């Protein structure tokens, strides 16, 4: 059981653009949480976004690994998926760009399934059904294998993100703006992910 929760806080800049940082809080009990702590500068690089944190146990490394999304320098372009090993209380390794899966477009919503050593994520840069599609890549040693599209019905011609398997792995969740999603404006069919 994790003792901490990781989350993102974002602020607007230049009018409508968002810049985000990752924070953590200790879970003391079901109703009591510790004080918010902003992750160190190596994760929250000044002037760049760090968002969509996902903490997973990596059996090969025998430690927790924090996956996150960032537009920091050293990536392939757009938003990339990075990881940092959790070395100790508030101590993180230097972030590593997962070059095997990132493209010049956006990759996001990482979910690492420890039991299978598989990273699930969404990409706008890999050939798919349209928009953002969900892919998976197997971790083999220190490298991620080829990305494979999860296919239909997980993916659609719309945007499909935030894939996550249930604890018993018998079903999965995905968020999408595909037909049938709620709209704020029926005439424009604007918005939203369900």
Q: What residues have CB less than 8 Å from 105, skipping those under 6 apart? A: 77, 78, 123, 124, 125
Nearest-angstrom CA–CA distance, 135 and 101:
9
- Whole-structure pTM value: 0.92
Residue range 16-51, pLDDT digits in tens: 889 999 999 999 998 999 999 999 999 999 999 999
Residue 160 and residue 175 in contact, taking contact as beta carbons nearer than 8 Å: yes
Residue range 88-117, pLDDT digits in tens: 888 999 999 999 999 999 999 999 999 999
**Rg, Å, the chain Cα set:** 17
Above 90 in pLDDT, residue 123? yes
Please tell me which residue, 162 or 13, carries the higher pLDDT value. 162
160 pLDDT band (50/70/90 cuts)? Answer: very high
């Amino acid at each position: 059981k994790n003792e901490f929760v990781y989350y993102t806080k974002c602020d607007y800049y230049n009018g409508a653009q968002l810049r985000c940082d990752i924070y953590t809080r200790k879970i003391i009990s079901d109703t009591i949480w510790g004080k918010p702590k902003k992750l160190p500068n190596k994760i929250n690089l000044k002037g760049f976004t760090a968002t969509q944190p996902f903490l997973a146990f990596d059996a090969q490394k025998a430690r927790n690994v924090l996956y996150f999304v960032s537009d920091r320098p050293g990536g392939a372009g757009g938003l990339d998926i990075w990881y940092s090993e959790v070395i100790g209380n508030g101590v993180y390794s230097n972030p590593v760009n997962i070059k095997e899966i990132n493209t010049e477009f956006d990759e996001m919503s990482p979910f690492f399934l420890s039991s299978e050593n598989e990273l699930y994520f969404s990409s706008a840069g890999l050939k798919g059904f349209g928009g953002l599609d969900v892919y998976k890549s197997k971790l083999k040693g220190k490298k991620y294998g080829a990305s494979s599209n999860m296919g239909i019905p997980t993916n659609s011609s719309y945007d499909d993100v935030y894939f996550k398997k249930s604890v018993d792995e018998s079903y999965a969740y995905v968020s999408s703006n595909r037909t049938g999603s709620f709209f704020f404006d029926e005439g424009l069919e604007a918005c939203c992910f369900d």
